[in-house]
A and B are shown apart, each in its own frame.
Chain A
Amino acid sequence: MSALSALARLEAVRAGRAQPVATVRHVHIADAPLVLVPLKLAGEAAAPLAVMAGAAPDAPSLLIVPQPRNRDQRFAFAASLARLVLNHVETHRGEVEELPGKDGEVRLRYGDAPQLLVPNRGGVRFLRLLGRSTRFRSTEGAYAVDAAVPVLGRWLTWFADRHDHPGSSLLGAATELLRLHWATGQSSLEDGNLAALMGWIDPPDGLDGPSAAALAEDPVRWPPAGPATDPTFDNEVLAPAIAAYDRSGGDARARERLRAAIETQVTPTWELMWRAVGLLRALPEAAGVARRWERDRDAFTHYHQTFGEAYPQARRDPPVRAARRLHDLERAQEAYEAQRAFDDPLVMAEQRLTGAAFGGVVTECHPERLDETGKRPKLRPLLRVATGDPVRLEPGTPVCSAARPALKGRIVEIGGGGVLVELTGGLGRRLVPEAGVVPVEGDRVCFTSRTEGSFGIARFPDREDTPWTHGGPPEDYVPTADDAREDWS
C-alpha cells in the first residue's frame, strides 16, 4: 500500500465506483480458462462438497459429494474432477515450438498452457489441500483409488505452487486479479468478497458501488464465493438435504434435490467469475504479459514432459530446494514489480512518488556529446529533465528509461527543479546515437533507479552437498504405503 493506492480508494469513495490502479492488464487471460468454483464442508480441512467447473460461461459442470463425510463418495468426486481437469490440461498444450537449447540441443515449449481461475485465495488454498490429500493415493491394493486421482493431486499441487510464483498466470484468484487493477471504496478485507468487489467495479444498472456492495454482503442474496458456505445455508438447507439423502439410502431424487440446493450457492459466483474474466479481458494487455506467460509455458512444458518419471511432490521441500525456491520467488517478485512499472505509468507513479523514479519534460538535450576523458571517446548524451517529483536519488545513481529500459544512464546532478542525466547505454554502437533513441527537447520522459534483475544469481549447493547444518543430503523422497493409506476423514 502507498499514498497512491490509498488515494485511489478515496477517489472510489467519492465516485461511488472503483477506480483504476493500472492502465493495462498485467495478467494473461486465456481464451478458455478453466473456471473452478469449489465448495467445502464447513469445519473440515478439505472435504469437498461441490465444484462448478468449465471453460465456457454457458457450459458449467456441477460435481457434488452428496455425503461429504463418505470416503468412497469423496474419491468418486475426485475421480470425476480429475477427468475434467486433466482433459483441460491435455487439450491446452497448443502447438509445440522448438527452440535452441543448451549444448545445441532442441528445447521444446508448448504453444499454450492451461489456466485455472478460482474466485479467491480460499479457492487456491482449497485446491492446494485437495492436491495434497489426493497425490499420494495408491491405485492398487486395499485402498485403491481411480488412477486419475493421484494424477489430479499432482497437477493441483503444481498449479498451487505456480500460484506462489509472482507474475504467473497459471492459477489465478479472481479477487486478487481484480484488485491488481482496481481500487474500491471499501477495505481490502471487504474486497475479499468477490460479489462486493464486483459491485464496486461493475455495479448493476441503477446501483452505485456502495449499494451494490451492500447487497452483496447479504449471504442469502449473494452466496459466499466459497469454499466456505454460508452457515445459515448449511443449517437450514444443506443439513436437512444431506440428512434426507442419507435416510433415503442414496435415492436419486434426494440426490437431485441436494444438487439443486447446492447449485443455488455456486451459480451466482460462476456468473461473477465470467463477468470478472470479461472485465479483465477488456483491458489492453501489458507488454510484459506475453513474456511472463512464456515462462509459465516453459514451466508447464517441463512439468508435463517429466510427469511420467517424477514422484509426487514431497510433503516438505528438502533444505536446498526450499532455499532455492525462496530465492527464485524473491527474484521473480522483483522482476515482476519492475516489469509492471515499465509497462504501466500508473504503477511507475508509485516509484515517482517515493522518489525512486522521476518524470518530466526534457528541457535541454545534447544528443551527440562525447566523453573524451578516456583513451577512446565515448558517446555520452546529456539530458536535463524538468520535474516536480521529489527525487530521492544521489548523483551517480544508475537509471533507465521507463519507456525503453535498454536506454540507460546515470544521474549527474539534481537541483533547480530538474535532473541532469548522462546517457550511457542503449544508444547503438557508433559515436552518434541511432535515430529516435535519445529524447529531444519537449519530450515527456521518465527514468527509474529500479531495474529488473538487480537480484543476483545465487549459488546453492547441489543436493548431495547439503551442509550438515541443514540435515545433510536428504533421502530421496519415495512415497510410502502410509502416504497412500492416509486417512481422509
Chain B
Amino acid sequence: MTETAPDLDRLRGGAAPRNHDARTIAALTANPGCARRGVMDAAGVDKDAVARALGFPAPFGQSQFAITRGNVFEQQVKADGCAELLTLLREGLGLDVPEVAYDDLETVAGNEGRELRHIRTRRLLARALETGEGTLFDHPLLRLDIGGRPAYLEPDVIAFQFAGRFHVIEIKSFAVVDGQAEPEQVAAAARQSAVYVLALRDLVAELGHDPERVSHEVFLVCPENFSNRPAATPVDVRPQLAVLRRQLARLTRIDDILAELPADLTFAPGERLAEAVRTVEARYAPECMAGCEMAFFCRDEARACGATGALGRSVRDDLGGLDTIGTALALADGDLDPAADLAETAAQLRLASLLRAEALENAEARRAAEAPPAPAAAPAAAIPESRAS
C-alpha cells in the first residue's frame, strides 16, 4: 500500500463498517471488474445510504410477507434442536447420524461482535476437526480474502459435520415443485453456498487441516411443492467454486485501486459525495440492478455518457465491443471513417443499417399502397381484423 492512498476508515467517513452478505457476494461474482463496488465493499461502506444520499435509492425493499415466510420456514426447520433438519439428513438423504450436537454461533453469550464470533467459530471448528465433536454449527462467522483484504461473511447457513467432513446447509424458502425450482433462485443459492464453502475451506486450511474436508456438496433445504414440509437436495457446487476462484483471482487488488485514488477521498455524506463516487470507476451492466445498491446511480452515469453497456452486455458484444452509442451510430450511418481495428465492426453496422432501412422502406411503401387513402376507411380499421382460417 502506498502512503498516499486513502485508508478504508476515511472512505467510510467514520461510520461503522458493514459485513459482506449475500448481496455483496452476488454483486462480487456477477461483476468482479467494477472498481467502484470493489472499493466500497472493501471499506464496508453503507452503499445503500450513499445511493440514497445521491438521490438514487436502491429499490431493494423486501416485502414483510416474504421476510415472514423466510423466517417462519427457517425457524420451523431449526425448531427443537433442528429436529426436522435432522430427519431430512437421516431419512431424506439416508445419512447415519446417531449422535447430534448443536452449537449456535450467532451470538457469544448475547454478544454479536464479529471478532468474538469469529474466534468462537474457529475454536469450535478446530475442535471438531481434531476430535470429531459437534454436528450442527449454526451461523458460523467466516472470513474470506477479497481483493487482498479480509472480509467478514455472515452466512445464514449451518456447517454440518458428518464422517469427518463439513457440508454447508442452506435453508431457503423458495419452493421446489416436482423437483424443480426457479432456476435463478437455485443458481443464486448455489453461488452463495460456494462462497461459504470457499471461506470454510480457507478456515480449515488455516487451522492446519486439509481444505478438502469441506465438501463441495452442499445441502439446500427448501419447502416441497406447495407445503411447508422441508426437503433437502444435495447440490454440487464445484462449477460455482471454479468460477468464484477465478473471479477472486481476477479481482483487481483493492490496494492497487486505492493507490490511484486521491488520499483525501471519502464517501461521507456531503456536497462532494457524487464527485467522490465518480472518482472511482464503475463498470455498469443491467445485471447490477439485481444485486448492487449503487446500480441506479451508475446506470444514470452510463446512460449520460451514452455507454452501450447500459443496454446490456450482449448488445455491447453484438456491437463488436464498441463502448459508445454515438460512435456505433456514426459508423452505422457511414458518417465516420473507422480505424483499422474497427473496420469489420463498421462494415457490419453499415450493412445492418442499410438492411434495416431497405426493409422498413419497403414495408412503408407496401402499407401506403395497400391502405386506401380515403379517411372513410378509418372506422373499419378500428374493427379487429377477421381471422383467416
Contacts and interface: CB of A to CB of B under 8 A. Distances in A.
Partners in one complex: yes
- Looking at A14, A282, A316, A345, the one whose CB has the most chain B CB atoms below 10 A away is A345
Interface in A202-260: 219, 229, 231-232, 234-235, 238-239
The 7 closest A-B pairs by CB, nearest first: A43-B66, A487-B227, A43-B69, A45-B175, A23-B363, A42-B63, A290-B388
A390 B355 CA distance: 12
Given A6-B315, A187-B310, A239-B65, A489 B226 contact: yes
Interface stretch (B152-160, B275-283, B324-332): B324-332
B353 interface: yes
Contact of A4 (B174, B175, B286, B355): B355
Given A31-B384, A42-B65, A290-B387, A486 B225 contact: yes
A33 B226 CA distance: 30
B389 A13 contact: no
A346 B363 contact: yes
10 contacts: A4-B356, A6-B314, A10-B329, A46-B175, A187-B315, A188-B286, A189-B289, A229-B63, A487-B225, A489-B226
A487 B228 contact: yes
Interface stretch (B249-257, B265-273, B344-352): B344-352
A467 interface: no
Contacts of B319: 3, 6-7, 10
A26 interface: no
A268 B61 CA distance: 22
A389 interface: yes
B68 interface: yes
Contacts of B177: 45, 129, 132
Contact of B355 (A189, A229, A353): A353
A93 B388 CA distance: 15
Contacts of A285: 385, 388
B13 interface: no
A175 to B, nearest CB: 15
B359 interface: yes
Given A187-B311, A489-B227, A349 B356 contact: yes
A19 to B, nearest CB: 8
B348 A353 contact: yes
Interface of B: 59, 61-70, 173-175, 177-179, 182, 223, 225-229, 286-287, 289, 306, 308, 310-312, 314-315, 318-320, 325, 328-329, 332, 348-349, 351-356, 358-360, 362-363, 367, 370, 381, 384-385, 387-389
A284 interface: yes
A239 B363 CA distance: 52
Contacts of B62: 231
B325 A10 contact: yes
A3 B349 contact: yes
Contacts of A239: 64-65
Contacts of B64: 231, 234-235, 239
Contacts of B332: 7, 10
A281 B384 CA distance: 7
Contacts of A31: 384, 387
Contacts of B315: 1, 6, 9, 187
Given A45-B175, A349-B356, 15 more contacts: A7-B319, A10-B308, A10-B329, A13-B306, A31-B384, A43-B66, A44-B69, A187-B312, A231-B62, A234-B65, A235-B64, A345-B363, A346-B359, A486-B225, A488-B226
B61 A235 contact: yes
A474 to B, nearest CB: 15
A234 B287 CA distance: 25
